[in-house]
Amino acid sequence: MRIHRLSPELAAKIAAGEVIERPLSAAKELIENALDAGATSIRVELRGGGAELLRVTDDGCGIEPDDLELAIARYATSKVAASDDLHAVATLGFRGEALASIAAVSRLELLSRPGHLEAAAFLRVEGGIAIARGRCAAPPGTQVTVRDLFFNVPARRKFLRSAIGESRAILHLVTAMALAYPEVRFTLLDEGEERFSSLGNGSLQDALVRCFGADTAARLLPLPQPEESAIRVSGVVSPPDLHRGSRQHVFFFVNRRWIQSRALTAAVEEAYQTTLPAGRHPVAVLDIRLPYDQVDVNVHPSKSEVRFLREHEVFTAVQRAVRRAVVDAAGVPLVRSSLAPVVVPAGSDNGWPEPPGRLFARYDMLPGRPIRGTQDWEPAPKPAQDAQGAGARSGAALGTPLAPDESGLFRVLGQIGRTYIVAEGPDGMYLIDQHAAHERVLYEQFRRRLLGPGAPSASQVLLQPVALELGPVPAAWLQSEQETFACLGYALEPFGPTTWLVRAVPAALASKGAAAVEYLRAVVDELAEQRMPDAERRERACWSLACHAAVKAGDVLTHEEMIALLQQLERCDFSRTCPHGRPTIVHLSHAQLEREFGRR
């Protein structure tokens, strides 16, 4: 076989396949062009999921009639002139190949009128070849109509997704763009019906209402005001009890460009620190701004990924901002009464699965309703012998001794089913799941120790070292993780190839004695076989240890132990869920009690 050059048409088709993979990619390019043209209103129309017809109309600056041919030529752009420009791209487009690519694989009409001209000019192209040109009346701006996408690339056409799936993906794209550009009015029509519109009045809150619905939008938490620094993160995130089944609702905009990033998504989820139930994801709209020359946008064919010069700093900034918003919002769940009708909107996505007929049919975390400081509730003074007993007994099962003079927020009334603590607190009654609560307390203590640089060593030396014999795989794993467990408070010394001498255990588990060594064995056995990234492994070590060491449902607790546990729980960042995301506390308010008893 001899080598020969491809015809320009074939080369263009092949190249087009890179940039325009599906109708969604064409829609994205056309919307980006409209935004680069300074449009304040962008209308997107679809038929057949965009494969039959995709039309984007804007009121931007328009294209000079003499430039129409250039606009659809390869590597022709008005946005980048010299190679230096590529180091700091401020426009969404810069490669000058989108229109050329779409034109190569469709029947395209480009119609445009710059504001200073009386009439519009149009150009029709089929499979990259100009077939007609003319003038007509039209409002200022540009309209690009793409028909029969991939009509001349049957292989690609065959593999297109269903029209419904593609329409949905384009709807998602348009909502993302509306979130990034609240000052632009977006309209989406699918098969002639309006599917989405934004107001374009510049208000992010209004855009959030359009994209997520009023209820969800009202609950999203604004990030703290960004500091004056090179990297600024603003936007909104969901409170921990509002979550979705997929990561689709986490949006990142970098200098107003919508990007996908697994690493940034992980940074956001990490900020929720296990307050989300397994498999659930937050809602977030994050606007990241940084100097143009600190981000490389030319790393992905569809420009949907970027590379940061100072990646670590960007992740830290995102995580810090999200975490502050989430921690500030941590309140206490409210119980909604069983008797009052419980209205869970159809398709509502943020509730817990609820068995019918449960007394507390639905609880709700209200942001901005911390227990502390909102009411003038005073706990009843504790009887004197409580205080004495506290110091002596509470350490026994719950590790950290009580400060007897510190009266907590709750007055403990008792334990039911050896599982739940009943307490009176601000505005009513509280039920606390003893295992979930203790798990949360221990988890946060461990985690602080592991992540907090220079945290005081918190170990309790055992009177007699305990030998820990492991299988070869767990032993090798523990060898490599020795530092993690040292941070948690376990002093380990190798004692033969698969045996360790445990000389000290975490102070929080001091009262457990040799049992604390068994917890370590359980954690090592559980984690040694699993492969996961470092950060996740340390996180899992914290929860696994907390889970094994926490008091269990069925354990009888003394009054003092319950007081100690509640006091520790109050000090947690995320007091109202266990590390697996299950609730630790439910609340029945005075008003609800009165309603239940027919007092009002």
Taking the least distance from each CB to ligand ADP, the nearer of 98 and 242 is 98
The residues near 478 (Cβ < 8 Å, ≥ 6 apart) are 470, 485, 492, 500, 524, 528
Nearer to Mg ion (CB atom), residue 92 or residue 488:
92
Question: Is the Cβ of residue 44 or residue 541 nearer to ligand ADP in the bound state?
Answer: 44
Determine, following the binding rule CB under 6 A, whether residue 304 of this chain makes contact with ligand ADP.
no
> CB within 8 A of 87, min separation 6: which ones?
293
Taken in order 557, 560, 566, 572, is the CA torsion positive or negative?
Answer: negative
249 and 243 Cβ atoms separated by less than 8 Å: no
CB nearer to Mg ion: give 128 or 583.
128
Can you state the percent helix, strand and coil of the chain, rounding each to 5? Answer: 40, 25, 40
Show the beta-strand stretches assigned E in 480-519.
Answer: 491-494, 499-506
Select the residue interacting with ligand ADP from 23, 49, 50, 142 (CB under 6 A).
142
Any contact of residue 98 with ligand ADP (CB under 6 A)?
A: yes
Choices 5-13, 61-69, 440-448, 462-470; region in contact with ligand ADP by CB under 6 A: 61-69
Question: Can you name the residues that pair with 251 across neighbouring β-strands?
Answer: 285
Nearer to Mg ion, 55 or 587 (CB): 55
Residue 200 backbone phi and psi in degrees, to 5: 70, 25
Is residue 589 involved in binding ligand ADP (CB under 6 A)?
A: no
Nearest to Mg ion by Cβ — which residue?
93
CB of residue 157 to Mg ion, shortest distance in Å: 23
Distance CA 231, CA 439 (A): 36
Q: How far is Cα 488 from Cα 457, in angstroms, rounded to an integer?
A: 8
Measured CA to CA, the distance from residue 511 to residue 401 in angstroms comes to 10
State the nearest-atom distance from the C-beta of 188 to ligand ADP, in Å.
17
Name the binder of 259 from ligand ADP, Mg ion, none, CB < 5-8 A by kind: none
* Residue 462 binding ligand ADP, by CB under 6 A: no
Do 592 and 363 contact (CB within 8 A), yes or no? no
Nearest to 314 by CA among 231, 246, 370, 374: 231
Q: Least distance (Å) from ligand ADP to the CB of residue 127?
A: 17
> Rounded CA gap, 296 and 453, in Å?
33
In angstroms, give the least distance from the CB of 34 to ligand ADP. Answer: 5
User: Quick one: CA dihedral 452, 456, 462, 465, positive or negative?
Assistant: positive
Q: Are residues 441 and 566 in contact, defined by beta-carbon separation less than 8 angstroms?
A: no
In the chain, what's the furthest Cα-to-Cα distance? 99
Structure token pair of residue 242: 């509002």
Beta bridge partners of 493: 501
Q: Choose the one of Mg ion, ligand ADP, none that binds residue 71, judging by a C-beta under 5 to 8 angstroms depending on kind.
A: ligand ADP
The entry of Mg ion, ligand ADP, none near residue 78 (CB within 5 to 8 angstroms by kind) is ligand ADP
Q: Which does 288 bind (CB under 5 to 8 A by kind): Mg ion, ligand ADP, none?
A: none
Q: Using the minimum distance from each CB to Mg ion, give the nearer residue, 93 or 404.
A: 93
Which member of 48, 93, 128, 367 binds ligand ADP (CB under 6 A)?
A: 93
Between 27 and 468, CB nearer to ligand ADP = 27
- For the chain, count helices (H), then strands (E): 18, 24
34 contacts which partner out of Mg ion, ligand ADP, none, CB within 5 to 8 A by kind?
ligand ADP
**Which phi-psi region, left, alpha or beta, contains residue 454 (left: φ > 0; alpha: ψ -120 to 50)?**
left
In angstroms, the CA 553 to CA 465 distance is 30
CB of 428 to ligand ADP, least distance (A): 59
Q: From CA 526, how far away is CA 543, in angstroms rounded?
A: 11
| Residue 142 or 567 having the CB closest to ligand ADP | 142
For binding to Mg ion (CB under 5 A), which residues are involved? 33, 93, 98
Q: Is residue 433 a contact point for ligand ADP (CB under 6 A)?
A: no
Alpha helices in 51-162, H assignment, sequence order: 68-71, 98-104, 154-158
Residue span 234-273 as binding mask against ligand ADP, x where in contact by CB under 6 A, dash where not? ----------------------------------------
Regarding 95 and contact with ligand ADP (CB under 6 A), the answer is yes
- How many amino acids of this chain bind ligand ADP (CB under 6 A)? 23
The distance of closest approach from Cβ of residue 180 to Mg ion in the complex, given in angstroms and rounded to an integer, is: 16
> Shortest distance, CB of residue 96 to Mg ion, whole angstroms?
7
Residue (98 or 488) nearer to ligand ADP, CB: 98
Query: Which pair of tokens denotes residue 223?
Result: 């990030």
Q: Which of 71, 207, 242, 551 binds ligand ADP (CB under 6 A)?
A: 71
The sheet with strand 411-416 has its strands ordered as 411-416, 420-425, 428-433, 585-588
Q: How far is the CB of 97 from Mg ion (least distance, A)?
A: 8
Q: Which of residues 12-31 bind ligand ADP (CB under 6 A)?
A: 29
| Contact status: 434 vs ligand ADP (CB under 6 A) | no
Q: Taking CB under 6 A as the rule, does residue 57 contact ligand ADP?
A: no
Residue 58 touching ligand ADP (CB under 6 A): yes
Q: Hey, how many other C-beta atoms are within 10 angstroms of the C-beta on 529?
A: 9
Q: Does 34 bind ligand ADP (CB under 6 A)?
A: yes
Q: Does 78 bind ligand ADP (CB under 6 A)?
A: yes
The values of phi and psi at residue 294, to 5°, are -100, 10
Burial class of 458 by CB neighbour count within 10 A (0 to 12, 13 to 18, 19+)? middle
Indicate the DSSP class of residue 189.
E
List the interface residues with ligand ADP, window 100-139 (CB under 6 A). 100
Work out what residue 62 binds among Mg ion, ligand ADP, none; the CB cut-off runs from 5 to 8 Å by kind: ligand ADP
Question: With binding defined as CB under 6 A, does residue 445 bind ligand ADP?
Answer: no
Binding site for ligand ADP (CB under 6 A): 29, 33-34, 37, 58, 60-63, 71, 76-79, 93-100, 142
